[in-house]
Amino acid sequence: MSSLGAILNSAVTSMQASQLGIAIGSNNISNAQNPEYTRQRLITAPGASLESRISIGSGVDVVRIEALRNRMIESRRLQETSSQAGADLLHRTLSDIEVQFSDTDTSGLMQSLSKFFNSFQTLSTDPASPNFRQQVRTNAQSLMTQFRTLHDNLANAKTLLDRSIAEKVSTVNSLARQIAHVSGQIADQETNGPANDLRDQRAELVKQLSGIVDVNELETDDKFYQLTIGNNRLLVFGTDTAPLGTQEDLPAMFNSGEIHSAIDARDNYIPRYMDALDEMAYEIVRQVNSKHSAGYDLNGNKGIDFFQPMGGSADASALMSLSSAVAGSASKIAASGASDGNDNRVAAQIGNLLFQPVFTGGSVSDQYRNLVFNVGSDVSNAQLNLNQHEAMARQLELRRQSMSGVSIDEETVQILQFQRAYQASARLIKTVDELTQTILGI
């Protein structure tokens, strides 16, 4: 037989549990707007029976407060965060670069190229004209300026990426220290029970980290925490960290994340565009010089270079300049194919370089077209890639929210339930009290 005291006890455990349940509901609602928060639940079990003959439970036992977390989704989400952040950085970087290659029929490098070569055609209509000669030099100057600007902007983009990589490496190390610190706190606290809030805090830090580098978390059954980045580079083990150094072989280390994309843009995309520009500039210098040096200037002299000759295409778009002869006097521009008179053959030949397919891969305009096309499709692919990862990241986020997110309606229902249970238990205590009165009144 159960004593009145036992019933009273059972009611008290119920009231305590309900109160705890309401507190948890309140905590859930308080954090409802935080997407990184994991909702918590009160896990209870029926209290053990105190008597053996007729088994009635002894109320309710609070087992633990559980955070509703799905490890699978969490780790897929980390991967996707890496991919998305990386795709985003690549897309942003390339979009910035792309703007410079947005030619129209009135602006852009193609305009400068056309103007430069066309000024030789104009010179061919009157090779003796000092104005036309000056025009050739002016247009050459603005072509060189345009090339240099494009080159400098690409070089600046590279420098910015360098700086940003260094910053991100130090962010990785700072996050690693924080993660190790929180892991230590978790280990301390979990001797008593699950440290849900600290785990949320760590998950948030790891998520930040996963945007920068690809991460892999490992927690052993005895709660030992280990975090590796990239291709199994150990970063955090327990409460210790192995800071990332800039001297390490970063390009080979990562598979996704911002550092990976920054390195990809710096070492692959930008150099490709620069090489294409340099190659164009170098070929222009070479082709123009080869025609020019075979021609005769206004004074019947031969063998003059138009551009300062260059040994190779390295940085040609930044280094191209007029030869000192042509820079010194426009009369040194060789327009003629013969020493007597001022015929226009060489000027016309140089002008014709605009459309003649004598450059690698066609004409100079074909070369530039290819570059514009490549830049455009790189950005458009980066955009597609970003859209794809955004959609996947969103899907995973929804699945995570579905598991771990707080629904205020649901919490309201839970709180109502606990409230009713609390009220009923309180009522029970009153009933026991009345029963006791009855007994005392005998």
CB closer to other proteins, 105 vs 249: 105
* Binding segment (CB under 8 A) for other proteins, from list 154-162, 213-221, 375-383, 425-433: 375-383
| Residue 370 engages other proteins in binding (rule: CB under 8 A) | yes
Binders of other proteins among residues 252 to 281 (CB under 8 A) are none
| Residue 184 engages other proteins in binding (rule: CB under 8 A) | no
Binding residue (CB under 8 A) for other proteins from 197, 304, 369, 429: 369
**Residue holding tokens 């843009």?**
265
Q: What letters, b where the CB count within 10 A reaches 16 and e where it falls short, cover 272-308?
A: ebbebbbbbbbbbbebbbebbbebbbbeeeeebbbbb
| Residue 373 engages other proteins in binding (rule: CB under 8 A) | yes
CB closer to other proteins, 79 vs 114: 114
Binding residue (CB under 8 A) for other proteins from 39, 266, 292, 332: 39
| Residue 121 engages other proteins in binding (rule: CB under 8 A) | yes
67 forms beta bridges with 40
Binding residue (CB under 8 A) for other proteins from 18, 124, 313, 425: 124
| Residue 96 engages other proteins in binding (rule: CB under 8 A) | no
List of E strands, 135-256: 215-219, 225-229, 233-237, 240-241
CA 314 to CA 215: how far, in whole Å? 38
- Report the nearest approach of other proteins to the CB of residue 439 (Å): 40
Cα 164 → chain centroid: 11
Determine how many CB atoms are found less than 10 A away from the CB of residue 345. Answer: 17
- Report the nearest approach of other proteins to the CB of residue 101 (Å): 5
**Residue holding tokens 């580079």?**
233
Binders of other proteins among residues 398 to 437 (CB under 8 A) are 398, 401-403, 405-410, 412-413, 416
334 to 353: interface string for other proteins, x by CB under 8 A: --x-x-xxxxx---x--xx-
CB closer to other proteins, 214 vs 283: 283
CA 182 to CA 199: how far, in whole Å? 8
Take residue 386 and report the two structure tokens written for it: 């970003």
| Residue 22 engages other proteins in binding (rule: CB under 8 A) | no
| Residue 354 engages other proteins in binding (rule: CB under 8 A) | yes
User: Residue 223: helix, strand or coil by DSSP?
Assistant: coil
CA 313 to CA 133: how far, in whole Å? 27
| Residue 150 engages other proteins in binding (rule: CB under 8 A) | no
Take residue 440 and report the two structure tokens written for it: 């005392």
Take residue 326 and report the two structure tokens written for it: 């042509």
Contact between 34 and 63 (Cβ < 8 Å) = no
Whole-Å CA distances, 6 to 62, 124, 431: 17, 114, 13
Binding site for other proteins (CB under 8 A): 32-33, 35, 39, 95, 98-99, 101-106, 108, 110-111, 113-115, 118, 121-122, 124-128, 336, 338, 340-344, 348, 351-352, 354-355, 365-366, 368-370, 372-380, 383, 394, 397-398, 401-403, 405-410, 412-413, 416
